[in-house]
Structures are given as C-alpha cells and as structure tokens.
Amino acid sequence: MDIGRPALARLLPHPAAFAAVSGLLMLILTACADHSQPGDIAQIEHMCSSCHGVNGYSTSPTFPRLAGQQPDYLVNELKSFRDHSRAERDAHTYMWGMALRLDDQSIVLLAAFYARQPPMAGAGGDENRMEAGRRLYRLGNPTTGGPACLSCHGERAEGAPARGDLPSTPRLAGQHRDYLALQLKIFAANARANRTMHDNAVALSAEQIDLLADYLSSQ
C-alpha cells in the first residue's frame, strides 16, 4: 500500500522537534519529581491532561482519548513507551520522556484511573459512509478476505481485556477520526510493531482506512 511521502514523513522522528519537546518534558518531570511518587496519580494525571485532556477527554486529534480505554491496553502501551519498543514519531516526541519516570505501580494506577472514566460518545456522520465503515468493521475486507475488526476489538468497538496468551485490544469507538486513520497508516508502514495489525492495515486502501476511521469515531 502506497501511503505517500508526506504521510511517511510524519511517521518518522523529526530530530529538532524531538529535542525541543523532550527538553521541555524533562524540565516538567524534574520539577515534579518530588510529587510523582508511586500512587500519586492526581499529580501524574494533571501532567497527562495537558495533552490528553482532563480525565482523558482529549480535544486534539494528535492525542488519543483515554477515557474508558481498556486498562490492560494502557498498561502495555505505557510500558512500551517507557522501554522505547513503541517508536513511531509521536511516541518519540511526546511519550518517551513522559513515561520514563513511571514505575509499574504508577502505570497500573494511572491505567485504572482512565479506564474508570465514562467513554466519550461519537459524533455521528454521513449515513452512507457509516454503513460502508460498519460493513468493513463487522464483515472484514471484501477485497482481500481480511478478518473483521470486531473479532478482536468487540461488537461495539469497546476493545477487550487480555485473555490468556492474547493481549488486550484497545477501545476504538469514539476515538478521534484523524488519530485512528493515522494509526492505521502507521501500522501499514510497519512503523508501529504489531504483526497482526500490519497484515490487516497494509491490505486496506486509503478509502477503506477513511471509512473505518469515520465509522469508529462516530460510535
């Protein structure tokens, strides 16, 4: 799948932006170091809210909504930011520095906090596009025979907790439309390591990605 040079450029870290934002984040973390002991989730969440919104209700599509997200998924992602195994451009720029000082206990408590918040309802959209996106989500890719998204992400795109050897899958319903579309392109470009998501996303056309993002953000 060809997602174009401008899109690919966004997936890679920009050294100047990374240096500037990382420096700012480290100043914030240093200033708050005395308060960010394990369990002091109010202070940590206050820092998170500058990007993800109060209680996880983000208003910018650059930053995902965290309210109502699966707690196991949040734990896994925060640990992957901390150990740098999640390495797309925005992970470098925004999350590596923020996750650096979080210990395991703080990560679990922070994930539980956001999971408790009521999820944000979708905004609706064009009925024809909603139906086309719904069919892709529920029935799979008619072009390639790819699996239905709901088989992992749930009937209502609510995500699922970890089950045995299966990792947790994220809630997609009500997420920012542009964030969802970008993540599918990142998976397709293999800039975010997940074999299952790469195999599924790389088979999607640009129009199918847009239809899925439209549908899921509306739920």
What CATH number should be reported for the domain holding residue 97?
1.10.760.10
Least confident of 26-40, 107-121, 152-166, 177-191: 26-40
Q: Domain residues for 59?
A: 5-116
Write down the pTM of the prediction.
Answer: 0.82
Least confident of 7-11, 152-156, 167-171: 7-11
pLDDT of residue 75: 98
CA atoms of 129 and 135, how far apart (whole Å): 10
pLDDT of residue 101: 87
Residues 112 and 133 in one domain: no
Which pLDDT band, with edges at 50, 70 and 90, does 83 fall under?
Answer: very high
The share of the chain scoring above pLDDT 70, in percent, equals 82
CA atoms of 106 and 116, how far apart (whole Å): 15
Residues 178 and 201 in one domain: yes
pLDDT of residue 124: 82
Quote the radius of gyration of the chain (alpha carbons, Å).
17
Position 122 in a domain: no
Residues 112 and 131 in one domain: no
- In this predicted structure, the answer to whether residue 81 has a pLDDT above a threshold of 50 is yes
Averaged pLDDT for residues 162-177: 95
Residues 22 and 107 in one domain: yes
Rounded to 5 degrees, φ, ψ at 26 are: -65, -35
Position 214 in a domain: yes
72 close to 164: Cβ distance less than 8 angstroms: no
- In this predicted structure, the answer to whether residue 122 has a pLDDT above a threshold of 80 is yes
Place of tokens 């394990």: 38
- In this predicted structure, the answer to whether residue 22 has a pLDDT above a threshold of 90 is no
Q: Using CA atoms of 51, 53, 59, 61 in order, give the dihedral in degrees to the nearest 10.
A: 40
CA atoms of 151 and 141, how far apart (whole Å): 13
Residues 17 and 93 in one domain: yes
The length of the chain in residues reads 219
Position 13 in a domain: yes
Which residue would you say has higher pLDDT here, 70 or 124? 70
Q: DSSP H helical segments within 32-126, as ranges?
A: 41-52, 71-82, 89-90, 96-99, 104-116
- In this predicted structure, the answer to whether residue 216 has a pLDDT above a threshold of 50 is yes
pLDDT of residue 87: 93
CA atoms of 136 and 59, how far apart (whole Å): 27
Residues 101 and 42 in one domain: yes
86 close to 13: Cβ distance less than 8 angstroms: no
pLDDT tens, residue by residue, 192-203: 999 999 999 999
- In this predicted structure, the answer to whether residue 4 has a pLDDT above a threshold of 60 is no
pLDDT of residue 95: 97
Residues 105 and 19 in one domain: yes
Residues 41 and 103 in one domain: yes
102 close to 78: Cβ distance less than 8 angstroms: yes
